[in-house]
Amino acid sequence: MKRKSYERNRRMIGQNPIKQTIKRNKYMSISVTASDFLEFKRVQKDGSYNMLDPRAREMTNLSKSQWLTIITDYNKLNDAWGETPPVVTGDKDTDSLLEDERTNNETNEK
């Protein structure tokens, strides 16, 4: 009995399940849309969990493969979809107020 558990633990040394999943998904095409990435950013901005924590993924409707794809390609996806586009209502006064508020929020976050 003791010998079997020793052998099993010996086989597990150096194995990281997250890296294995990423390697396996490397050859598969995982679809991540802008709304998926923004959902990931929403959880990230909430700040309740570490983004590698499974409970963070449970706050979204993303699959595990989508979640890991976003984590591995975060910089590329953030460059593409990370910035929030300006709100345009068509009214010049409202648009200028919204733009001022957005820039104030960005400077306060930094």
Using DSSP, state whether 30 is helix, strand or coil: coil
Structural domain of residue 37, as residue ranges? 2-109
Q: How many folded domains does the chain comprise?
A: 1
pLDDT tens over the chain, length 110 residues: 556 665 666 665 655 555 555 555 555 577 888 888 889 999 998 888 899 999 999 999 999 999 999 999 998 888 888 765 555 566 667 767 777 777 776 666 65
**Contact predicate 29/3, CB 8 Å:** no
From residue 35, give the alpha-carbon distance in Å to each of 31, 40, 42, 101: 11, 9, 10, 23
Using DSSP, state whether 10 is helix, strand or coil: helix
- The Cα–Cα gap between 105 and 102 comes to 5
Pick from 12, 18, 35: nearest CA to 71: 18
